[in-house]
Chains A and B, each alone.
Chain A
Amino acid sequence: MTSSALTKPQMRGLLAKRLRFHIVGAFAVSLGVAAFYKFAVAEQRKKAYADFYRNYDSMKDFEEMKKAGIFQSAK
């Protein structure tokens, strides 16, 4: 019975191939984690502060706190 010869399997360099694949993967994953943190947390925080202070009225804030009765020096 004839059958086509099987292709010779890769017999050398298996660890090197695995390492190469996973080192690239490791850097990609860690850079992805860092990018995620930067955009989901760091940039969001900067934006939150910028948005808060854009139209912030400290006197209005103070009057509300004074009405709530929290100050010793301003009743």
Chain B
Amino acid sequence: MACPFQMGLQDATSPIMEELLHFHDHTLMIVFLISSLVLYIISTMLTTKLTHTSTMDAQEVETVWTILPAIILILIALPSLRILYMMDEINNPSLTVKTMGHQWYWSYEYTDYEDLNFDSYMIPTQELKPGELRLLEVDNRVVLPVEMTIRMLISSEDVLHSWAVPSLGLKTDAIPGRLNQTTLMAMRPGLYYGQCSEICGSNHSFMPIVLELVPLSYFEEWSASML
């Protein structure tokens, strides 16, 4: 989950999110490079009385400030495309879970073996127990096995929603009439929080997602107990 005054991205729980973190660092480094260059140049320009009164053309510097930005853009595009293709690699998921967005809750279906369905509503603030997180806790969490590749199929029963879990680098739109797929792989057990990420009405901010990643044996016990 996010912490108060947090400036950066959440800690990565999946390999793809780790790659995204490093890519973000790389791109932010380039942003700081360009911003500090421009800031320095602006302050240099503004702190002199010397002028050049007959500037006509500047072919050399025009070439430099065309080629250099092109190189910088290539340096950003190459790692970006690498991660984009990495997200689409074939990975043979062991489990498929379907999630449907509703106004204003998520419902989950585990139908690989038996028929397990449940709804996941936010716990209202007045009903939170001490230590629980405001606007993030739900009554029925999405329990999943850790260190296994899981296929998530995401859609909606009414309006647009978006199923997002930042710590795993996931955000997939839930579109009525369309089935979107994403792949989930958590490297550590624990609780991972997300919130609906597409405006969907008055309670858009109040339909969170909580993933509970546990070892496979505990997942199997839980799914048997939920039937």
Binding site for B on A (CB under 8 A): 14-15, 18-19, 22-23, 25-27, 29-31, 33-34, 37-38, 41-42, 45-46, 49, 53, 56, 58-59, 61-62, 65, 70-74
Contact = CB atoms under 8 A, between A and B. Distances in A.
A18 B43 CA distance: 13
Interface residues of B, number: 38
B33 A59 contact: no
Contacts of B218: 71, 73-74
> Which DSSP category, helix, strand, loop or mixed, fits chain A's interface?
helix
Contact of A49 (B12, B146, B212): B12
Contacts of A18: 44, 48, 50
Most buried by A among B41, B52, B143: B41
B146 A58 contact: yes
Interface stretch (B17-25, B99-107, B108-116, B163-171): B17-25
A62 B33 contact: no
B22 A45 contact: yes
Interface of B: 12, 18, 21-22, 25-26, 28-30, 32-34, 36-37, 40-41, 44, 48, 50-52, 140-141, 143, 146-147, 187-191, 212, 214-215, 218-219, 221-222
A22 B40 contact: yes
A34 B29 contact: yes
Contact of A65 (B33, B34, B37, B189): B189
B212 A34 contact: no
A38 B41 CA distance: 22
Given A37-B32, A38-B25, A72-B141, 5 more contacts: A15-B48, A30-B32, A33-B36, A38-B29, A73-B141
A45 B21 contact: yes
B50 A15 contact: yes
Q: Which 3 A-B pairs have the closest CB atoms?
A: A73-B222, A30-B37, A42-B25
Contacts of A65: 189-190
Contacts of B188: 56, 58, 61
Nearest to A26: B40
Contact of A62 (B52, B141, B215): B215
A73 B227 CA distance: 13
B214 A45 contact: no
A34 B146 contact: no
A30 B50 contact: no
A53 B147 CA distance: 13
